[in-house]
Structure 1
Amino acid sequence: MTSHRDPISSTSRTRLRRKPDRGRFDRASIERILDEGFVCHVGVVDVQTPRVIPTCYGRAADLLYLHGSTGSTLLRALAAGTPLCVTVTLVDGLVLARTQRTHSVNYRSVVIYGQARLVSDPNEKARGLAAIVEHVVPGRAADVRPPNRRELAETHVLAIGIDEASAKVRSGPPLDGLEDLELPVWAGELPLRTVADEPVPDPSTPAVLRAGPPVYVRDYRRPGG
């Protein structure tokens, strides 16, 4: 495992060929995006039949943890060492320009390449699953029952090192050409953010618990949000 202070590897796969000025290759930028997001898309690389799935993840220092059923074809392939790609995207706003062609989206994204390690140690599996729950809802993992032996046996937990990665960021107003700036059209940014609505209790929740959800549910917000 690498040190938390080790630099991110710059490779031909992480080099940005289009809009390279939007690239970020420092670990702090990459981890801020990973920490604010919680859904990634995971796909296999260099295979005849590529597959991509959305899934939740958790970050613990220099590792991402993923989980899924031991019956998952994709997870079995990744556990066997098939090269993978993980992407995380945060949408920060819509960029409304004066021409159709120059409309855009403000975003922050991370792409990670590598190979997954199948977590076999039961203690690390439990920590990995707790890390995913805690990443999605900070404070939740300690409140709920951890997985039992049967559930651990039915679940694949994969660890991916954040070693070969890059971030890409688009921010700011539309980039209209000088010849279009005088068009009589409103142009600008429409910021977007993830906001939690009122919690809805499960009908099976005892009445004494329904009226008062935990603080981390009542005041839920993403890091940086």
Structure 2
Amino acid sequence: MSSSYPQTELTRVRRMAARAHYDRATVQAILDTGWICHVGFTVDGQAHCIPTAHWRVDDTLYIHGSNGSRLLKALADGARACVCVAQVDGLVLARSAFHHSMNYRSAMVYGQFRVVDDEAEKWASLAAFMDKIAPGRRQEVRMPDDNEFAATTVLALDIVEAVAKMRSGPPKDDEADMAIPVWAGVRPLETRFGTPIPDPAMAG
């Protein structure tokens, strides 16, 4: 297996191509550290973009939801999709308004989802989702019963066409602006867990 995804007409980055990354490790790391993906698709000429939880097992990206979900129904019917995961790492404040930017990491995956009909794969994928949320948690909680399992649709997307795009570092001001007496630099942003808040029912 190649260490990089192939560049295709869909994934080839044309603007600021130096920020593009096609290696599997970079793309997969962005997918794995993101909690929410946005799924873009079109139904009857109307474009939709819906956020949903996602997770990855090897070269397969999974999403899930209720059997009645419009998103899942459309994707199960073969609608082509674009999945995007993006994370902002900092606000880049430059000396000129034009050069303000953001430091970010993003990954895009193109393709068509398939319904996970095989029960073994479906169970394994849901277990992997639990492990992403909280490793070891599935050994402590009640897993889905037959009705809950049947009411849940799991979709899988083989990661074949994928690309990452990132920016990092300080502002890139024009030489003529370097003497402007204003603060310039990066305001870092980070996502982290806070102090756990117990369910009030635990006190009963």
Q: Taking structure 2 as the reference length, what is the TM-score of the superposition?
A: 0.94
Q: CA deviation at 1:143?
A: 2.3
What are the superposed Cα offsets for residues 64-100 of structure 1, whole Å, 9 maximum, x if unpaired? 1100111111210101111111000011111011111
Q: CA deviation at 1:162?
A: 1.1
Secondary structure of residue in 1 paired with 2:98: coil
Conserved? CA contact 1:45–1:85, under 8 Å: no
CA gap of 1:152–1:129, structure 2 versus 1, over 3 A, is same
Are 2:151 and 1:154 aligned? yes
Moved more, 173-182 or 118-127: 118-127
Following the alignment from structure 2 to structure 1, what is the Cα–Cα distance between the partners of residues 42 and 179? Answer: 46
Conserved? CA contact 2:116–2:155, under 8 Å: yes
Are 2:82 and 1:94 aligned? no
Conserved? CA contact 1:96–1:174, under 8 Å: yes
Match of 2:23 among 26, 49, 71: 26
CA gap of 1:6–1:160, structure 2 versus 1, over 3 A, is farther
What are the superposed Cα offsets for residues 35-87 of structure 1, whole Å, 9 maximum, x if unpaired? 11121001215851111111111111111110011111121010111111100
CA gap of 1:97–1:156, structure 2 versus 1, over 3 A, is same
Match of 1:170 among 167, 172, 190: 167
Matched letter for residue 70 of structure 1: N
Following the alignment from structure 1 to structure 2, what is the Cα–Cα distance between the partners of residues 182 and 119? Answer: 59
Are 2:123 and 1:126 aligned? yes
Secondary structure of residue in 2 paired with 1:90: strand
Are 2:200 and 1:203 aligned? yes
Q: CA deviation at 1:206?
A: 5.4
What are the superposed Cα offsets for residues 152-183 of structure 1, whole Å, 9 maximum, x if unpaired? 11111001111100000100111111111100
Indicate the RMSD between aligned Cα atoms, in angstroms: 1.6
2:11 maps to what in 1?
A: 14
1:103 maps to what in 2?
A: 100
Conserved? CA contact 2:43–2:74, under 8 Å: no
Identity %, equivalent residues: 49
1:221 maps to what in 2?
A: none
CA gap of 1:74–1:46, structure 2 versus 1, over 3 A, is closer
Following the alignment from structure 1 to structure 2, what is the Cα–Cα distance between the partners of residues 194 and 144? Answer: 26
Secondary structure of residue in 1 paired with 2:47: coil
Q: CA deviation at 1:22?
A: 0.1
Are 2:64 and 1:64 aligned? no
CA gap of 1:6–1:178, structure 2 versus 1, over 3 A, is closer
Following the alignment from structure 1 to structure 2, what is the Cα–Cα distance between the partners of residues 166 and 47? Answer: 27
Conserved? CA contact 2:3–2:23, under 8 Å: no
Moved more, 136-145 or 52-61: 136-145
Matched letter for residue 191 of structure 1: P
Segments of 5+ residues of structure 1 without an aligned counterpart are: 208-225
More strand by share: 2
Runs of 4+ in 1 over 6 A off after TM superposition: none
1:84 maps to what in 2?
A: 81
Conserved? CA contact 1:126–1:147, under 8 Å: no
1:112 maps to what in 2?
A: 109
Conserved? CA contact 1:42–1:52, under 8 Å: yes
